Amino acid sequence: MTMKQKLLGCAMGLGLGMGLATGANAAIHTELGASNFLSAAEVVGSGINQINGSIGNGDEGDLFRVTFATGGTLTISTSSSIDPEIFLFSASGGGIGSDDDSGPGGESLLTVSIAAGTYYIGIGDFNTAAQDTDGTQWTSGSPPGSFGTLNFIQNTSFIDGGNYSIYLSLTTGEAGVPEPMTLGLLGAGLIGLGAAARRRRS
């Protein structure tokens, strides 16, 4: 096989792999009317990496129940026309972390290590607070030691409504365990090389 054929096969494989990976990564959930109460959080499920929704003038915030099949480093970021504030809670409603505007342009950005399982993601227009079942409020950063089980999130000032997107990116970080996109690229590259080899033998 000539070098030109090898390069052509690799290019074809990489192009196919990028297409497969992009399709695999385009898992979007659109808000159906999320509640700001933990007991009525909207179920997103697993395999979703983008949540699109909106906050209306009377909307205190939105809570989503998300399941991750594997653990790793989870990055939650936003793109919105509101001044977003995001929260992350455990399956039992315990506080994990929150962020107001660590991302570019005042967007929210939160990175935490998680195990596989179910979590709750909350978003609201600044200034949003999480309140536990005992009345303890948590407004930003790490939850206070006295924060127990989440009851609801609630905007504590004027609500400036608008649309938002929440992006979820999970990196496993395990040596020898490639990400799905990497596997797609590798597999498609091998397919391309195999096709080039068959053409050469023909």
d(CA 100, CA 107): 7
pLDDT tens track for 102-131: 999 999 999 999 999 999 999 999 999 999
Average pLDDT, the chain: 81
pLDDT exceeds 70 at position 3: no
pLDDT tens track for 63-88: 999 999 999 999 999 999 999 999 99
Query: Would you say the C-alpha torsion 183, 117, 121, 75 has a positive or negative sign?
Result: negative
Residue of 89, 73, 79, 76 lying closest to 142 (CA atoms): 89
Domains and CATH numbers, the chain: 27-171 (2.60.120.380)
Confidence at residue 160, expressed as pLDDT on a 0 to 100 scale: 86
Confidence at residue 46, expressed as pLDDT on a 0 to 100 scale: 84
Rounded average pLDDT over 31-39: 95
CB 29 within 8 A of CB 44: yes
**Structure-token pair, residue 111:** 């990175």
Query: What one-character-per-residue DSSP string does 36-54 give?
Result: SBGGGPEEEEES--EEEEE
